[in-house]
Amino acid sequence: MDPSSFVHPQAAVTGNVFIGKNVYIGPGAAIRGDWGRIVIEDGCNVQENCTIHMFPEVTVWLKEGAHIGHGAIVHGAVIGRNCLIGMNSVIMDNVEIGDECIVGALTFIKAGEKVPRRSVVAGNPGKIMKEVSEEMLRWKTEGTALYQALPGEMRKSWGERGLGETEREEGQKEVGKVYKPWKETQYTFGERVSNEVREPEAAYGKREFTIADYLQMEEDATQKHEYYQGEIFAMAGAKADHNIITSNLMMFLAHRLWGSSCQVFTSDQRVHVQANTLFTYPDLTIVCGKPVYYNDDELNLTNPVGIIEVLSPSTKKYDRGVKFELYKCLPTLQEYLLVDSQSVLLEQFHKEAEGEWIFRKYEKLADEVSIVTVDVSLSLAYIYKNTGFPKLTH
């Protein structure tokens, strides 16, 4: 536990628990790292009567700035950076809540759910209602800042007004036990006591992962993760229409490219942008000629000529903006296609010989798009075949 944090004496923190800087743990909280481990990063707060626990050999992880509301239960889950978990919510085993999510009060999120970044979740069972707006995120961040300042205030004032000896003796007669001020408890700040469970900070306190860390972690992971400049992000699963569109495109391209020098890879193929450290899993990747891999590992492709991303509500801003800028650092990339999974919309970016990116947009099922890189064309009607949302016919 970092000396800058504050654990209320009425809270129970036991077992294999790491507590970072400026963390507040409220009275009545039960944080039990007895069977696995619990990592509470900098600036988190766990409010009154919360429970954090897990099945054996599981790590519960509250990432930086996570805010766990009164009475909530987190059992074997990972809570993303700057999230808000509402009062009396229940987050079950193997749940992964993406960064900057807001979970409403009394929400139940069942085991194994993966919640994409910037999602508002509510209900029983929990469902994604909408995207977290900038205003909502600002409100959450400002509220958490109050709790991040609270440990310092508590350390200054805690125990300054203690019982006098006479009052203490009288209290012992009445209740048999006197509540000790903070400085008299076993959790004295800055000191390590004999019954405190602590491991080296390096085991849990890393704020930045190396590429080697990421590759090793991904080798053992059951879920895909993206890496960028020392940070690792869980990638959310996709809904049916997203998968149908990806499958349609994959089948078409695999058939048309058969026997040519080009080939198409599914989302299991990881792509690495060496210029900016990005490792990610595009929905589809096109390579012409011999594939080139990072360090010849046959895992991390570095020479795609085309990338196709199927847009989901939680990822469309990222795919259109920041991610496209990162992809542009691939010297071989010539074409980038974005296919919406909620409406008939395909956005195409093609790189001209002079290096300028040309943009075209297609919004009708009758439209045909020419994938310039591999010289094939297909209709939007084929791309959106068998999807469940209403089709536009204009």
Helix (H, G, I), strand (E, B) or coil at 22: coil
Domain 6-136 sits in CATH 2.160.10.10? yes
Q: What is the dihedral of CA 217, 220, 222, 223, to 10 degrees?
A: 20
Domains of the chain by residue range: 6-136, 234-383
Question: What is the bridge-based pairing of β-strands 335-340 and 306-311?
Answer: parallel
Quickly list DSSP for 193-258. Answer: -TT-----HHHH--S---HHHHHHHHHH-SS-EEEETTEEEEPPP--HHHHHHHHHHHHHHHHHHT
pLDDT in tens, the chain (394 residues): 998 999 999 999 999 999 999 999 999 999 999 989 999 999 999 999 999 999 998 999 999 999 999 999 999 999 999 999 999 999 999 999 999 999 999 999 999 999 999 999 999 999 999 999 988 898 898 888 889 989 988 877 776 454 455 554 554 444 433 333 333 333 333 333 333 332 222 232 344 789 998 898 888 777 789 999 888 888 877 889 999 999 999 999 999 999 999 999 999 999 999 999 999 999 999 999 999 999 999 999 999 999 999 998 878 888 999 999 999 999 999 999 999 998 999 999 999 988 899 999 999 999 999 999 999 999 999 999 999 865 544 3
d(CA 147, CA 44): 8
d(CA 91, CA 300): 34
d(CA 66, CA 71): 15
What are the residues whose beta carbons fall under 8 Å from the beta carbon of 319, sequence distance 6 or more?
309, 311, 338
On whether the CB atoms of residues 273 and 333 are closer than 8 A, the answer is no
Tell me which residue of 331, 327, 290, 321 sits closest to 308, measured CA to CA.
327
User: What b/e sequence results for 193-228 when a residue is b if at least 16 CB atoms lie within 10 Å of its CB, and e otherwise?
Assistant: eeeeeeeeeeebeeeebebeebbeebeeeeebbbbb
For domain 234-383, give the CATH number: 3.90.1570.10
On whether the CB atoms of residues 38 and 31 are closer than 8 A, the answer is yes
Phi (first) and psi of residue 145, to 5 degrees? -60, -30
